[in-house]
Structure formats: structure tokens, C-alpha cells
Chains A and B, each alone.
Chain A
């Protein structure tokens, strides 16, 4: 819209503006240029606000109820059996990164002690950053916001993550490690 278009004010609009301006002091004239529903604001009574807040409360209840209903349909485990790596290829104290259950779902396998393997999704439960194994600290770390996870259980030890890392059930057969399922709890 060009400047010339703005300069041409219709006659009826100009008279309405004059009427408004006659009821105002000069401090309030800016409101002619930036009109808003001044009178409608006054119509919102306390009781009406209370009524709206109760309906908003109903909406919040409905949202929580939907989550509760969805929790009955949500699978607690997912994924099929898939080979990860030969157990002999992961030395004690080292980690092996793989994907499970899908090609985009990154996970980490840890060889904690002799013959003791654990695996977790390495997506941080805070904001989904990639969690990595810190051999020096003996912890799973999230570099984004300094989240720290226990390598045995996946529990949160420090930082903002609200939940433990999802655990991946393992099965060893003929020296090969298999991921069986990912537990969401």
C-alpha cells in the first residue's frame, strides 16, 4: 500500500474521527489511529472471566484425559530382534553405537564388566540430543544441557532430563549380541 492511498481518508471515517477526537484530550488521540474495542473491554465482567476460566479448566482436563486414554493404547515395548555386534568386538569399558529399532533411532551398547552388556536409546529424554559414553567419568552424558545418566540403569543422575533413558533388552547367542525390544518404561 502506497503513502498516497493512506492520505485519502473517506469522508464518513473523517467525521467519525472528529467525533471521537472531540471527546478526547490530546493525550488520547493516538487511539484514533490505533483503534481497539475499548467499549467491548468493559463488557468482560469478573463473572464472565470466571466462566471462561472454568471452560479453560475444562479444556485442560480434557487434554489430561486424552493423555490418560492414550496411555492405555501406547505400547510399552517396541522393536523386533535384530543383530547388533559380536560381543568380542566390544572391549570392557567401551561403547558401541548402533541403531534400533529403526534406522533413525540411535542407541548405545555398553560393555560394563566382563560379560555384562547393557544398551539404551541414546536420545536424551530432555531435548533429544545424542547421549554419549564417557569412559573417563563412567557415565552416559548429554552434552547439550549437561544431563548425566547411570550406565547400569539409565536413570538420571544430574541435569534437566525428566526421565531415564529407554532401555534395550539384549540377548546373546553364539557370541552375537541381539537387541530384542526397547522398553519405554
Chain B
């Protein structure tokens, strides 16, 4: 089993490689469509801006490949941070259309005196029982770093939420697709467990 990490110059593949290595999971980083198609599972990383990321995915043909093998196929994909927001139809951060696999849009946190934006730090993730990614991981915190979020009201097999001024969706599981708003690759032991769950349960 090998996980392909999609390299589109808007993510941070190195941290994910470091974490998967620690978790004992084989992986590679690539932007090559054939190589990525051959991977058993995919991770869509993300630090960056919505439009820049979507433009990079579109121009490299990655969007078309993902539609074929993930959306209309059965290849499991985990989107991380911006990678989760890209699953949405769009974002308040930009004008580009998202992948549109999950019917929702990302919007910016309203800053208030006690709610600084971006939301940075370790925060609790509340999950439902059916979660495949959080199997064996309960009542823990994960590391977040983001200004945009997906609000409640999403249809999925499993959803988790987190509180930061508002209650927002911090994780989505829908068929072979999953997304997490936090960074499992930078969330120490709990993060490694989640990545193992993606490798084993999807």
C-alpha cells in the first residue's frame, strides 16, 4: 500500500512525508498524473490560497484525474486543511470553483476582540461514532491554522466539529473521500494515529 501525496506547489508535502514515515506508511510525492493514478490512496495537502491552489490543480490536469479516479472512482483521498476546503464548491477566499465533491462553501471567520483570525493552535475535535479516521482517537486536540472554515449543514457519512467563536466542520468523511481542517501531520501522536486510520480504514 502506497500513498501518493499530490505536489502542486501549494502544499507542504515534506511535513506529511515526515509524519507518514514515522507512522511506517509508504508514500511518495509527485505531480505526475500516471504516478498519482498508480497510488493506492491520495493525500491532497494544503497551505496556501484557494484560487492559487485550484488554478494549479486545474492547469496540471490533476482536477480531471481526481474527478475520474476519486469522485467517479473508488480511490481514497484525504484532503488536509486547504485540501479539505478544495472539496467544497467554492470559497469566500477566491473566485475559483472548488472540486465540488461536497456541497458546501468555505467562509472567513468573523474577527472579534477575543476571536483573532487566523485560528491557530490546538483545539478539540468532536466526532460522531461512525468516524473511520478517528477510530480509537477520542477527546483529543489537533493543531489548526486557518482563516476560512466550512460551516455546518453538510451531508456526509461522518462529520466532526470544532468551536472557535462559531461551531465549524473540522472533518468530513463521505464514501472514499475524507477531509480534515486541522493538520494531522503536525499533531504529534494523535495525528499519526489518524494517518494510520486513513491507511487502514479507507
- The answer to whether A and B assemble together is no
B interface residues, Cβ below 8 angstroms from A = none
